[in-house]
Amino acid sequence: MKPKAFEYVRADTLAVLLQALAAHDGAKIIAGGQSLVPMMNFRLAQPEVLIDINGIAELNHVTSDGAVIRIGAMTRYRDLLDSACLNARIPLLAAAVRHVGYPAIRNRGTLGGSLVHNDPSAEAGVVLTCLGAELLVVCAGAERRLPLAEFFVTTYLTDIAQNEVLTEIRVPIPPAGAGFAFKEVARRVGDFAIVNVAAQIGSNAQGEVTSLSLALGGVAETPIRADVEGSLLGRLIDMPLAARVAAEVDAMIDPQDDNVARGDYKRHLAGVLVKQALLEAHAGSRAGD
């Protein structure tokens, strides 16, 4: 199908974008278009005005700012993979982005677009949940910062108003020596994940866990962070312990059947991937410098 007719506006600065959003009630932002254009073609989205933000240079950056990496919302997956700063400081993010679609999707799709679209198994949402990211959302005359967990409301719904724009994603730099793992199962390479798991683990010279973050996608309406620190801090992770923690996670989730997989299969995948992710992230960790 073809989209309903719409008016096209190109914004080349944030100021022009905010004016355009304020001026048009029925406007929608288009970034990489990799989710919005299919939705328009199926007439699931019918914006009266499409505001193109591809020319806004100030929304496209990856910079290190003290303990945080700041990523502009218009930064494409491809640019994340090419960023030396990101690969050196937050390799878990790059590991996750490698699973997004295939090269054509990664060349156009943006980090901000993925977060606003909020597919529950999108790699970006899961890995940034694990990393504890914070978002900057702006409208004419005001801005607000909020944790990603508060931004995700439910599947395909986020806490952003029609006149607001997501401008930046702020990701805390992990502790030195932290190990990481990103695991997922999809039907085919390039498909959305059925289930995915991100883990980041810090350890001391004895290999005991000193910090831990674990997140899952595809098992609920939004990515979830599994609170399992109590079982792992101060411990060495071996297979029996990883299996006990996977059982704990199993009790926290209630994945539903959908057109790709049954809930019980997702539950099985979650258990397998949590074990793999914990063992791999722990094995890759070393005492901080």
Q: What angle do CA 218, 40, 38 make, to 5 degrees?
A: 50
User: Which string of x and - marks every residue 210-249 that binds ligand FAD (by CB under 6 A)?
Assistant: ----------------------------------------
Q: Closer to ligand FAD at the Cβ: 135 or 277? A: 135
| Nearest one of 13, 118, 129 to 60, comparing CA atoms | 13
Nearer to ligand FAD, 17 or 69 (CB): 17
Query: Judged by CB under 6 A, does residue 33 bind ligand FAD?
Result: yes
Taking the CA atoms of the chain, what radius of gyration do you get in angstroms? 19
Cβ partners under 8 Å of residue 77, min gap 6: 97, 100, 105, 106, 107, 109, 110, 111
Residues 123-182 that bind ligand FAD (CB under 6 A): 123-124, 160, 165-166
Beta strands in 56-104 (DSSP E): 62-65, 68-72
Q: CA 103, 106, 109: angle at the middle one, nearest 5? A: 145
Q: According to CB under 6 A, which one of 69, 101, 128, 200 is a site residue for ligand FAD?
A: 101
Choose one: 106-114, 141-149, 172-180, 251-259; the region binding ligand FAD (CB under 6 A).
Answer: 106-114
CB of 173 to ligand FAD, least distance (A): 23
Specify the residue, 50 or 232, whose C-beta has the smaller distance to ligand FAD. 50
Do residues 182 and 122 lie in contact, with contact meaning Cβ atoms separated by under 8 Å? no
Residue 54 to residue 138: CA distance in whole angstroms: 17
Residue 134 is encoded by which pair of tokens?
């914070």
Asked if 11 interacts with ligand FAD (CB under 6 A), we say no
- Least separation in angstroms between residue 208's CB and ligand FAD is 34
C-beta of 40: minimal distance to ligand FAD in Å? 9
Taking CB under 6 A as the rule, does residue 24 contact ligand FAD? no
Report yes or no: 13 and 36 within 8 Å, Cβ to Cβ: no
* 95 lies in the binding site for ligand FAD (CB under 6 A): no
**H or E segment to which residue 196 belongs:** strand 193-203
**Nearer residue to ligand FAD within complex by CB, 79 or 279:** 79
Side by side, the strands of the sheet bearing 134-139 are 62-65, 68-72, 165-172, 134-139, 142-147
Site size for ligand FAD, by CB under 6 A? 29
Q: Which stretch binds ligand FAD (CB under 6 A): 18-26, 109-117, 208-216, 266-274?
A: 109-117
Residue 97 interacting with ligand FAD (CB under 6 A): no
Residues in 46-75 at the binding interface with ligand FAD, rule: CB under 6 A: 73
What residues numbered 258-287 form the site for ligand FAD, per CB under 6 A? none
94 lies in the binding site for ligand FAD (CB under 6 A): no
- Buried b / exposed e across 7-17, counting CB within 10 Å, b at 16+? eebebeebebb
Per CB under 6 A, residues contacting ligand FAD are 28-36, 38, 73, 100-101, 105, 109-110, 112-114, 116-117, 119, 122-124, 160, 165-166, 192
